Homo-oligomer: A and B are copies of this chain.
Amino acid sequence: MKQGLLTDRQKEVLRYRKKGLTQQQIAEIIHTSKANVCTIEKAAIENISRARETLEFLYTLDAIHLCTLKSGLDLLKAPELIYAEAEKQGLKVKYDTISLINRLRDANPERFSGRQVREDVEIYINKDGDLYFG
């Protein structure tokens, strides 16, 4: 079975970048041109957003987009926002406040730090009131 979308080269560049190295520095380390490093990094970012879009598609397969939890939002305020939007759509959310918060954190632990949303979270709902996050 093949691994993820990113090639070894792409992962390598992303790791060095994460450490704060410039493209020029990376180019010297991996023995190529800085233009090439740029291209590889760009391809990696492209692949990452393709991966995101792919999973988005899955949710849209049986769910509709409900709302977005914007970066910085208090996690405890998410439920009322979600309930309000669901009501607009004439749908009933399957989870109560507590389990909704748990589900949010469990499904995407890396997107929250403490009570705060670290990164935009898309909320999807299907006819059964199931929620999905993207």
Contact = CB atoms under 8 A, between A and B. Distances in A.
Interface of A: 1-6, 11, 14-15, 18, 46-48, 50-59, 61-62, 109-110, 113, 128, 130
9 residue pairs, one from A and one from B, having the closest CB atoms: A4-B53, A51-B54, A4-B54, A51-B51, A5-B54, A18-B61, A59-B110, A4-B50, A51-B55
B61 A3 contact: no
A5 B50 CA distance: 6
The A interface, classified by DSSP as helix, strand, loop or mixed, is helix
A93 to B, nearest CB: 14
A52 to B, nearest CB: 7
A18 B5 CA distance: 25
A110 B60 CA distance: 11
Contact of A51 (B1, B5, B61, B110): B5
A109 B94 CA distance: 11
24 contacts: A1-B46, A2-B46, A3-B50, A3-B53, A4-B51, A4-B52, A4-B57, A5-B5, A5-B51, A5-B53, A5-B54, A6-B54, A6-B57, A14-B61, A15-B61, A18-B61, A18-B62, A47-B54, A48-B54, A50-B51, A51-B52, A51-B55, A52-B55, A113-B128
